[in-house]
Amino acid sequence: MKNSPKTNSAIMPIRPSQPASLADQEYLALKNFLEGLLGIVVQPSEQFDKDILLDSLSTISVIDFIEKTFGISLFEHQLTDFSSIQELTNYIAQHKKFYRREGLSWITELKNKWNFQIPKSTFIFILKLIVFTVQKTTLLFYKIEVKGLENIPNGPCFLASNHQSKLDAFLILSYLDKKMFQETFVYAKKQHIKGTIQTYLANRSNVVLVDLNHELKESIQKLAEVVKLGKKVLIFPEGTRSLNGELGSFKKTYAILSAELNIPIVPIVISGAFTAGSRSDRKKINSLIILEFMPVISAEGLYPDQINNLVRQNILNSLLN
């Protein structure tokens, strides 16, 4: 992923300073931020590559915090050059331009208004037609059992599903009632929507196009605006379809928004769809696909990692039963 903030040539390249006396002010500020972000207790000697593992989202958050609090701009790869919290703290103490105690992280600022117009529903009837066609075609070869639609709450929420096949999003949408269908937006990667016509239709059919490789911060801000307007977002936290039918690791983008904006999550379990569409599977008439909308998970009082782990565990438990 390459979504780096602006860099200051005056501090390039980074040459991590030798461990010196730990600057209390800088250390406490960084420690408090990391503990709030990750939900763990950190110590000066802990190392980024062993003890404190930052994913892309957390890395951007730390970089943004350092820039707003101390006036130091870093690239992602520069942050990982520091082996420990102490080494990074000493560097900050030597190169800071200022110290702002009340600096907010960009994640916290998601609660504020951002200049993004959510996709219009001008051509949502096309999406509806596609969804209807996929559903009816699938029913020629499969039985589909749907459970728990009553668990979807009124108002904003994340519909977080495991990802077994190309049919998943269409099947989920096909069983939402008319009102819920119209207020549900699909979180889709830009690289999956190819060509000018597809992009044009997606931007007018309740599809939020995101680029997690180059526009992670902007992509999350887009999703924040959607749920802040009371809409629902269908998202696949695995990020891509399963390669072997097993549940993959979950990216926590939705969980961060859920924690910051107090948005509930409905885990969705899809089973029996992994081989859907393959020639061998189409011969098995009346194979069963199950869509299960699980009880809602409240984000109140939970860290993003806790939310993400809880959603994944609930889906995994259902798949194993």
Domain harbouring 293, CATH code: 3.40.1130.10
Give residue 259's domain range: 124-320
Domain count along the chain = 2
Q: Are residues 242 and 135 in the same domain?
A: yes
Contacts of 193 (CB under 8 A, 6+ apart): 199, 202, 207, 209
Q: Are residues 16 and 55 in the same domain?
A: yes
pLDDT (0 to 100) of residue 13: 44
Q: Are residues 267 and 298 in the same domain?
A: yes
Q: Which of 106, 137, 171 corresponds to the end of one domain?
A: 106
Q: Is residue 101 part of a domain?
A: yes
Q: Is residue 162 part of a domain?
A: yes
pLDDT (0 to 100) of residue 276: 65
Say how far apart CA 45 and CA 59 lie, in whole Å. Answer: 19
Q: Is residue 141 part of a domain?
A: yes
Residue 91 belongs to what H/E stretch?
helix 85-95
Q: Are residues 26 and 131 in the same domain?
A: no
Contacts of 23 (CB under 8 A, 6+ apart): 89, 90, 92, 93
Q: Is residue 116 part of a domain?
A: no
**What angle do the packed helices 56-70 and 24-38 form, to 10 degrees?**
150
Q: Are residues 189 and 262 in the same domain?
A: yes
Intervals of the chain under pLDDT 70: 1-23, 56, 102-109, 112-117, 119-120, 191-192, 212-215, 275-286
CB 258 within 8 Å of CB 265: yes
Residue 68: which CATH number? 1.10.1200.10
pLDDT (0 to 100) of residue 168: 93
Q: Is residue 313 part of a domain?
A: yes
pLDDT (0 to 100) of residue 264: 97
pLDDT (0 to 100) of residue 297: 97
